[in-house]
Amino acid sequence: MLVGEALGEDEETKEEYFVGKAGGLLNKLLRDVGLIRSALHITNVVKIRPPDNKLARLGELGLSLEDFLPLLYEEIEQVCPSYILAIGATALEALTNETGITKWRGSALKYKHNDSIIILPTLHPAYLQRGQMHLYPYVRNDIARLANLAYGIESPDEDFVQIIDPTFNQAISALDEITETSSATCIDIETIAGQRITCIGFSFSSNKAICIPFRHEGLKLRWMEHEQIMLLRAMQRLYAQPGLLKIGQNFHYDMHFLLPLLGFPREPIFDTMYAHSLIHPDAPHDLGFLTAAYTRMTYHKDEFKDWAEKSLPHDQTLWEYNIKDVIATHRVYQSLRKDLISYGLYDFFTGYIMPFRRLLFEMEWRGLNVDHTLRDEWTSFVENEELPIAQDIVNKLTGRELNPNSSKQVGEYLTLLGLPVPRTEAGNFTVKEEVLEDLISRFPQHRALLKQILCTRVLKAKDLGTYLRAPLSADGRLRCSYGTTVTGRLSSKANLSGEGGNLQNFPKQFREFIIPEIGHAFVESDLSQAEARVMAWLMKSDKLKDVFKQGKKIHKVVGSWIYNKPEDSLTPDEYLIAKKTVHGSNYRMGVNKFARIIGQTVAEAKVIQGKYFTIVPELLAYHQEIQHLIDTERKLTTPYGRSRIFTGRLDDETYRSGYAQIPQSTVVDTINIGLLGLWLIKPPDILIITQTHDSALFSLPIERVQWWTPYIRAHLETLRELTIKGDKLTIPVDIEKPKENWYGK
């Protein structure tokens, strides 16, 4: 039996459930898993079409959702199904009283009026069609599971053995058994307010785990001091056991707490979050999602969360939650390992991704050294000088006190100027950055004001809020947490303690207060024009290849072609437009967005982009090639073997993402594999400080600079020769002279 939400326009017209666009997608999902629609009983919670298809507007008809529930329950009683697919949030809540369809999808639940009926929730096809088609395989998996349950191919869940609140001897014996006999163990900690470990879980296998508490009955210590020391030593032996695979989900979190107690775990290590992000980079990677996708376990992540000291859960609840995390992660690992092997990515993951995560962990743990005096001076300068001047210019241009960060004030003023300012459904003005950039391209006569509003916002929100006032750690250092994007590029944000922030886009002027370690100098290396260079080889453009082989700057050359003037005669604005033209056009940025980015009218942007396409005719052929690969294989693979599978809707947004996939991934793997090689051979006094897309920063004793520089060139350039479309490519690396701060002085 299938239960949906409510009738849509097509369903109302044809008086049949699921016959519109969402119904067509549902039919495809059913066919994909071998189910025959005519053999299924299909219904909805709400039997009519709400105004504008919005359930919240049922009241306009004098009805409520609750009015339809008795009829639904009576229908279920008459049909007497063994299994029901609950399609969407409304059906989930009506049948189980649970909320949060994205959390509960894929879990086998019990019907609230009859425990013998199994409810399996999944996402509504209409939700997938609203920009979430990358989740299509997971919804298909949910429906396949329903079929497997109905035909007895699988059971709702698989039991496991849990050891909770063990005695001291039981805990020691368990740790020794895992160390000596297990081939893999999952490790997971629970913490108090993100500060202190309260228990640690270890798996023997995918069907057995132990939770060893360190606190109980609130915040009381569970063990006597000598017992705790012996337990930690047993854990250290497990941590250091060669050949024992250590499994974790977002294991960096656990390692930050465990490093002072246990040291660094001996390889091999398998992080399920990063394994899944490699296979399916577009999907969510949290444990709740992975558990639903790769195991038969019921969603449990809301049973307990990291708590504040004033709100302590029952010990049993916490320990059972920890066991479920451990078992779920171990089972997810087993499935992901098979997937990595089947996709040919297992060696790539275990030989490169996981070792590189250790390098990133060291960078996170160490953080950046900060010149606090200079940081304070910059903060004072921006806050007390730059920001007031910028605000004063806004006020003079508008003739009033205008808060650039107030959507209401900015929207009202721009409306007075006759500009079309979009609004939300609630009627509020929307004046985000992209909206103002669009207005600049359409109404260039107001460029000065709109640019000044954006500038003032940047000073307050970005410069002050994001960078200059980013919280430092207790030791005064600037830290971050590293993640990855769909192309494999690094991203960074504040760590789990809320310290630090984004280092990937750290403004150049503020890099002045990032300084080397005591007695050290900075050396920075940069892959020369890396993405544009890779693109020239991918599109097989002899004209662009010659530019790079002659050692010229591609953006200057392209600027001279576009503006028909010598390279040295380009203005700074023309050079910047040429740079954005190369990047935006290579990835086929839409002309409206391109106009916003370069601050020109749409007509001017079309002319500039058209000139570039004429200069590089091979580019359109490259775009067609990528589109064909996505259409036919739904997969793109880089020269290094990194693959990305495209599971979502095949539209312009998907193709544009595909155009950038290979060049961006190739560059990031070039620098990261090189850094990994340098990390493996470097002496302890040479430190890798940051990686920002195509550059890397080292802190080292000044007397080692001359000795270390050839190693940088060897690992980032000489050893990274690629073959692209049958032609060899080596990306040159530029190595700066030693400097006293990250900015360059």
pLDDT, tens digit, for every residue of 218-268? 788 999 999 999 999 999 999 999 999 999 999 999 999 999 999 999 999
What residues contact residue 250 under an 8 Å CB cut-off, 6+ apart? 271, 273, 287
124-144 burial string, b = 16+ CB within 10 Å, else e?
A: bbbbbeeebbbbbbbbbbbbb
Residue 325, pLDDT above cutoff 90:
yes
pLDDT value at residue 499: 94
Task: Give, for 595, the enclosing helix (H) or strand (E).
Answer: helix 591-598
Q: What are phi and psi of 514, to 5 degrees?
A: -95, 115
Confidence of residue 214 (pLDDT cuts 50, 70, 90): very high
- 2-150 to CATH, choices 3.30.1960.10, 3.40.470.10, 3.40.50.150, 3.30.465.10: 3.40.470.10
C-alpha to C-alpha distances, 255 to 172, 271, 364, 417, 441, nearest whole angstrom: 21, 12, 11, 56, 49
Do 493 and 480 form a contact (C-beta atoms < 8 A)? yes
pLDDT value at residue 676: 98
Quick one: which of 459, 320, 494 has its CA closest to 378?
A: 459
User: CATH 3.30.70.120: does it fit domain 161-342?
Assistant: no
Task: Answer left, alpha or beta for residue 561, where phi above 0 means left and psi between -120 and 50 means alpha.
Answer: alpha
Q: State which amino acid sits at residue 520.
A: H
Distance from C-alpha of 119 to C-alpha of 136, rounded to nearest angstrom? 20
pLDDT value at residue 617: 95
Tracing tokens 């006759």 back to the chain, one arrives at 418
Distance from C-alpha of 358 to C-alpha of 265, rounded to nearest angstrom? 10
Q: What are the domain boundaries of the chain?
A: 2-150, 161-342, 370-476, 515-529+667-735, 531-659
State the chain's mean pLDDT as an integer: 93
pLDDT value at residue 648: 78
Q: For residue 561, how many other CB atoms are within 10 A of its CB?
A: 18
Do 154 and 148 form a contact (C-beta atoms < 8 A)? yes
Residue 471, pLDDT above cutoff 70:
yes
Strand partners, 727: 724
Averaged pLDDT for residues 60-69 = 93
pLDDT value at residue 305: 56
Q: Reduce the secondary structure of 420-443 to three states and give it as a string.
A: CCCECCCCCECCCHHHHHHHHHHC
Q: What is the tens place of the pLDDT at every residue in 164-187?
A: 999 999 999 999 999 999 999 999
Calculate ∠ Cα 628-632-637, nearest 5°.
75
Distance from C-alpha of 53 to C-alpha of 15, rounded to nearest angstrom? 15
How far apart are the two ends of the chain, measured CA to CA in Å? 70
As a whole-number percent, the residues of the chain with pLDDT over 90 amount to: 83
Residue 309, pLDDT above cutoff 70:
no
Residue 307, pLDDT above cutoff 80:
no
What residues contact residue 252 under an 8 Å CB cut-off, 6+ apart? 271, 357, 360, 361, 364, 481
Q: What is the tens place of the pLDDT at every residue in 478-506?
A: 999 999 999 999 999 999 889 999 999 99
Residue 390, pLDDT above cutoff 70:
yes
Q: Beta strands 369-370 and 514-515: pairing type?
A: antiparallel
Distance from C-alpha of 728 to C-alpha of 532, rounded to nearest angstrom? 15
C-alpha to C-alpha distances, 148 to 33, 139, 142, 143, 296, nearest whole angstrom: 10, 14, 10, 9, 11
pLDDT value at residue 304: 64
Task: Answer left, alpha or beta for residue 152, where phi above 0 means left and psi between -120 and 50 means alpha.
Answer: left
Q: For residue 648, how many other CB atoms are within 10 A of its CB?
A: 19
Helix (H, G, I), strand (E, B) or coil at 724: strand
In 176-235, at which residue ranges do the beta strands (DSSP E only) sit? 184-192, 196-205, 208-213, 215-216, 220-221
Confidence of residue 745 (pLDDT cuts 50, 70, 90): low
User: CATH 1.20.1060.10: does it fit domain 370-476?
Assistant: yes
Helix, strand, coil % over all residues of the chain, rounded to 5:
55, 15, 30
Chain centroid to CA 360? 16
Q: Beta strands 695-701 and 520-527: pairing type?
A: antiparallel
Residue 255, judged by CB atoms within 10 A of its CB (0-12, 13-18, 19+), counts as buried
Confidence of residue 314 (pLDDT cuts 50, 70, 90): confident
pLDDT value at residue 53: 87
Averaged pLDDT for residues 335-347 = 96
Averaged pLDDT for residues 352-381 = 97
Quick one: which of 283, 171, 284 has its CA closest to 224?
A: 171
Distance from C-alpha of 641 to C-alpha of 418, rounded to nearest angstrom? 53
Residue 350, pLDDT above cutoff 60:
yes
CA atoms within 13 A on the CB side of 519: 6
Rounded CA Rg of the chain: 29
- 531-659 to CATH, choices 1.10.150.20, 3.40.50.920, 3.40.190.10, 1.20.1260.10: 1.10.150.20
Q: How many residues does the chain have?
A: 745
Confidence of residue 588 (pLDDT cuts 50, 70, 90): very high
Averaged pLDDT for residues 95-116 = 94
DSSP class of 211 = E
Residue 238, judged by CB atoms within 10 A of its CB (0-12, 13-18, 19+), counts as buried
Packing angle, helices 602-615 and 554-563, rounded to 10: 110
Q: What is the tens place of the pLDDT at every residue in 595-640?
A: 988 988 889 999 999 999 999 999 999 999 999 999 999 999 999 9
Task: Give, for 742, the enclosing helix (H) or strand (E).
Answer: none
Helix (H, G, I), strand (E, B) or coil at 250: coil
Q: What is the tens place of the pLDDT at every residue in 447-456?
A: 999 999 999 9
Q: Beta strands 727-729 and 722-724: pairing type?
A: antiparallel
More confident residue, 130 or 335: 335
pLDDT value at residue 195: 77
What residues contact residue 416 under an 8 Å CB cut-off, 6+ apart? none
Residue 537, pLDDT above cutoff 80:
yes
pLDDT value at residue 377: 97
Residue 155, pLDDT above cutoff 80:
no
pLDDT value at residue 312: 57
Residue 313, pLDDT above cutoff 70:
no
User: CATH 3.30.590.10: does it fit domain 515-529+667-735?
Assistant: no
Distance from C-alpha of 34 to C-alpha of 26, rounded to nearest angstrom? 12
Distance from C-alpha of 190 to C-alpha of 176, rounded to nearest angstrom? 22
